[in-house]
Structure 1
Amino acid sequence: MPNQHITPHQDGWQVKSEGSTKATKVFPTQQQAIDYGRDLAKGQKTELIIHGRDGKIRDKDSYGNDPCPPIDTKY
């Protein structure tokens, strides 16, 4: 299963599967896209990769079966 990316879109923010040329869904706010993308990533056991307006990765969340998970320092 491909990872899910949250990236800027001309109409707001898009959820896009890695390697895909088309958005899965477009939202007016980044938070709405993140919420939708997180549900997809959890269901598919993949990674959610959140990009900023500049296109750079600003955050990642893994929902897969990582054999060597890093310690989560967000909390």
Structure 2
Amino acid sequence: MNRNERHVVPSPNGGWDIRKPDSGRSSGHTDTQSEAINRAREIVHNTGGGEVVIHRPNGQIRDSDTIAPGNDPFPPKG
């Protein structure tokens, strides 16, 4: 199964990159993490939904967000 996901990662040159796994180049670059998260959500939503994986400045995964029409494996209890 090929998941549609983008990772928000720190850029070696400063700022934040939006990366698709196994891609040689970034899908976008922003100055702030929040701008990168918002842009990554737009990209994933426009490509059919999936996951946005957010990394800390040290590279560790901090959070992930399922974007509609993606299937959230852990939906909030209503």
Structure 1 CA distance, aligned partners of 2:64 and 2:35?
A: 16
Unaligned runs of 5+ residues in structure 1 are: none
Structure 2 CA distance, aligned partners of 1:23 and 1:31?
A: 16
Count of aligned pairs between the two proteins: 72
Structure 1 residue corresponding to 2:28, chosen from 19, 25, 29: 25
TM-score by length of 1: 0.81
**2:5 is matched by which residue type in structure 1?**
N
Give the % identical residues. 26
Alpha-carbon RMSD? 1.9
TM-score by length of 2: 0.79
Unaligned runs of 5+ residues in structure 2 are: none
Structure 2 residue corresponding to 1:52, chosen from 53, 56, 66: 56
